[in-house]
Amino acid sequence: MKREQLPPEKDGLDINLLQKTLSRSIFGRNIIFHETLSSTNSQAKALGDQGAPEGTLVLAEQQTAGRGRMGRSWLSRKNENLLVSLLLRPPIDPDQVFVLTMVLALAVIEGVRDVSALRPLIKWPNDLYLGGKKLAGILTEFSVKGKKIDYVILGLGLNVNWGPEDDGSILFPATSILAETGTRVSRSHLLFEILKRFEVYYRKALCGDIEEFYERWNKRSMVLGTQVEIKSDDGSLFGTASQIDRNGALIILDEQGQKQRILCGDVSLRVF
């Protein structure tokens, strides 16, 4: 679909509307909004270290040093997309953290579907794709105290009304809701739709009630049944992706037919 060249939104994110619609949500307790930040995740981490409460929501209209996984950068254009970090303090072990990434991915899929009828797929561990192009990425970072989680930061970059052009300089072809539908979407409304769902799913996940999520994220996964290459500092592993397990780990059958369980950590995945 041809990209519609529209000027950037005149009005920025409607923070008053968000405050109002989120007044009963944990994400309405402490909304931190900046026109420009280096990175909403870095800001949320600093706030986490200073003891900011669960539900702290950091938003920016633009980032000067937006970060992705594996040291990559995240590109966006001012006033066009969602650049958001959620600070959570779940009473869980570090190896359960990536369930939260998956639960946020589901909430984003459903929020996007409700405002646009698009149906993104999950590219494990942290990306959302539409027709082979990246629509969103989630950067999950956490801090541990003793053996338990002190805080988790879930950073979401979602291309709503702008996506980077594929001029050969970006690693993955990207898209946006506008590029796919030709229609601009209210970011405040979309964010509310995502957070509303995420809060419900988060509470369920904390009660160990993850069966329904586990089934849904397997259904929405674009890698299952495909040949993949998992790259890490230790080298490459080839195999067939078979499942995402209850902790959000990817199960692959390697070339010897052995099951391997891959935790998201420092790996990147190539789909063939």
- Binding residues vs ligand BTN (CB under 6 A): 39-41, 63, 66-69, 72, 74, 83-85, 126-127, 137-139, 155-157
CB 222, min distance to ligand BTN, A = 15
CB 125, min distance to ligand BTN, A = 9
Instruction: Give me the residues paired with residue 261 across strands.
Output: 251
Nearer to ligand BTN, 23 or 169 (CB): 169
Nearer to ligand BTN, 48 or 155 (CB): 155
Nearer to ligand BTN, 85 or 175 (CB): 85
CB 18, min distance to ligand BTN, A = 16
Q: Whole-angstrom Cα distance, residue 75 to residue 65?
A: 9
Q: Whole-angstrom Cα distance, residue 3 to residue 198?
A: 30
Nearer to ligand BTN, 18 or 156 (CB): 156
3-state secondary structure string across 203-217 = HHHHCCCCHHHHHHH
Q: Which two tokens stand for residue 264?
A: 């998201």
CB 37, min distance to ligand BTN, A = 8
Number of H helices, E strands in the chain: 6, 12
Nearer to ligand BTN, 52 or 156 (CB): 156
In a 3-state reduction of DSSP, which class is residue 115? Answer: helix
Nearer to ligand BTN, 44 or 179 (CB): 44
Q: Which two tokens stand for residue 211?
A: 């069966």
Concatenating the DSSP letter of every residue in 20-72 gives: HHTTTSGGGS-EEEEEEES-HHHHHHHHHHTTPPTT-EEEEEEESS-B-GGG-
CB 177, min distance to ligand BTN, A = 16
Half-sphere exposure of 83 (CA within 13 A, CB side): 35
Nearer to ligand BTN, 59 or 244 (CB): 59
Which of 156, 102, 111 lies closest to 134, judged by CA? 156
CB 174, min distance to ligand BTN, A = 10
Q: Kindly tell me the sign of the dihedral angle through the C-alpha atoms of 242, 243, 248, 249.
A: negative
CB 65, min distance to ligand BTN, A = 7
